[in-house]
Amino acid sequence: MDSAQIIDKIIKNDFHSFLIESKQGSSEIIDKIKLETKLAIGDCFEVIDRNITIKDIRNLEKWAQIYPSGVGKLAILDYEKLSLTASHAFLKLLEEPPEYLKLF
């Protein structure tokens, strides 16, 4: 499945979270998703270039609770960069996200 098909599935289905893994790294796919879905979804929150702290997750939770200006919100995190405490805090949002939020 190419990235265009992946993006199409993301926009058209009801899944709230997606895990992307690639031998080359996921940055190319993520860049395409950001480019395509920002136009369709609206708001975007991302932390991918550094380690993710519990403070980042708290900010994400607050941001996620604000109703979107467009049709939804997109959050992009590099899960490998989450600290242990941040990963525990992230679980609640992952399990019970607002209906308009998609997580990568």
> Mean pLDDT, to the nearest integer, of 93-97?
91
> How far from 103 is each of 2, 75, 83, CA to CA, in Å?
20, 5, 18
Q: Find how far residue 64's CA is from the centre of its chain.
A: 11
Give the predicted TM-score (pTM) of the model. Answer: 0.76
Q: Match 């805090």 to its residue by tokens.
A: 89
Neighbours of 11 (CB within 10 A): 16
Q: Which of the pair, 55 or 21, is modelled with greater confidence?
A: 55
At 63, is the secondary structure helix, strand, or coil? Answer: helix
Position 90 scores a pLDDT of 93
What percentage of the chain has pLDDT greater than the value 70?
70
Higher pLDDT, 35 or 67: 67
Domain count, the chain: 1
**Residues of the domain holding 68:** 3-103
What does the mean pLDDT of the chain come to?
80
Query: Domain containing 25 — which CATH number?
Result: 3.40.50.300
